[in-house]
Each structure stands twice: as structure tokens, then as C-alpha cells.
């Protein structure tokens, strides 16, 4: 399978990566190279094989359903490029 330029731009949009035409073209070549490389997986007979979900067979560890952490609004927003009163500031979303 190969991707056309339009698909590359759609995937860039889904990835939230701005891509101008020149870079989109370069990316198309790179992606097709990688997709060509992984194509060999089609040779493998996977009939009846379960997809792997975890390399180590173990039961998901559970913990008691209680609060173990909190009151860290300062810490959480400390690294934000823009914050005010423990809120992350972003460009206007709704007019």
C-alpha cells in the first residue's frame, strides 16, 4: 500500500502537525518507504493467532479505590507556557 499526497496531508492534520507542500512531499516518500518495508508482514500466516496485548502474562494489579494524591495544582501548572490561577491558558476556542 502507498499513500498519496492528499493522504499524507490528512494524516498530518490528524497528527496535528503543520506540513507545508515541500515537507509533505518529502514525508510522502519517507512514509511510502516505511510502508513498503512493513509490507513483508503480509507473508506471515496469522490465521488463528491471538494479537499480543501484554508480553508478561499477569493479572492487572488493582488498588483500593481511594484518593492517594492531590492538592498539586501548583505542580501541575508549573511548567505551562501560559497559566493563570491554576488554569492552563489557551487561545480562544469559542467565539
Partner 1 sequence: MSELTNLTIAEAREKLLAKEITAVELTDSYLKAIDAANETFNAYVEVTPDNARKWAAISDEKIAKGEAGDLEGVPVGIKDLFGTEGVHTQACSHILDGFKPRYESTVTQNMWDDGAVMLGKLNMDEFAMGSSNETSYYGAVKNPWKAEGDDTALVPGGSSGGSAAAVAAHLCAGATATDTGGSIRQPAAFTGTVGIKPTYGRCSRWGIVAFASSLDQAGPIARDVRDAAILLKSMASVDPKDTTSVDLPVPDYETAIGKSVKGMKIGIPKEYRVDGMPAEIEALWQQGIEWYKSAGAEIVDISLPHTKYALPAYYIVAPAEASSNLARYDGVKYGLRMTGDDITDMYEKTRSEGFGDEVQRRIMIGTYVLSSGYYDAYYLRAQKVRTLIKRDFEDVFNAGVDAILTPSTPSSAFAIGDTEMASDPIKMYLQDIFTVAVNMAGLPGISVPAGLDGKGLPLGLQLIGKPFEEETLFQASQVIEDAAGRFTPSKWW
79 in Cβ contact with 72 (< 8 Å):
no
What's the rounded Cα separation, in Å, for the pair 16 and 18? 7
Binding of residue 11 to partner 1 (CB under 8 A): yes
Joined grid coordinates for residue 84? 493563570
Number of CB atoms found within 10 A of residue 33's CB: 10
Size, binding site for partner 1 by CB under 8 A: 52
Q: Which residues from 65-94 bind partner 1, rule CB under 8 A? A: 72, 75, 78-82, 88, 90-93
What's the rounded Cα separation, in Å, for the pair 29 and 34? 9
Task: Tell me the per-residue interface mask from 33 to 72 with partner 1, x by CB under 8 A, - otherwise.
Answer: xxx-xxxxxxxx-x--xxxxxxxx-x-xx-x--------x
CB of residue 78 to partner 1, shortest distance in Å: 6
Residue with cell 496469522: 46
- Give contact residues for partner 1 (rule: CB under 8 A): 1, 3, 7-8, 11-19, 27, 30-31, 33-35, 37-44, 46, 49-56, 58, 60-61, 63, 72, 75, 78-82, 88, 90-93
Amino acid at each position: 500500500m502507498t499513500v498519496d499526497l492528499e493522504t499524507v496531508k490528512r494524516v498530518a492534520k490528524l497528527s496535528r502537525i503543520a506540513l507545508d507542500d515541500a515537507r509533505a512531499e518529502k514525508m510522502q516518500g519517507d512514509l511510502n518507504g516505511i510502508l513498503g518495508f512493513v509490507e513483508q508482514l503480509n507473508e506471515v500466516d496469522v490465521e488463528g493467532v491471538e494479537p499480543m496485548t501484554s508480553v508478561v502474562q499477569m493479572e492487572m494489579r488493582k488498588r483500593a479505590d481511594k484518593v492517594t494524591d492531590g492538592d498539586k495544582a501548583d505542580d501541575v501548572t508549573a511548567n505551562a507556557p501560559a497559566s493563570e490561577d491554576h488554569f492552563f491558558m489557551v487561545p480562544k476556542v469559542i467565539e
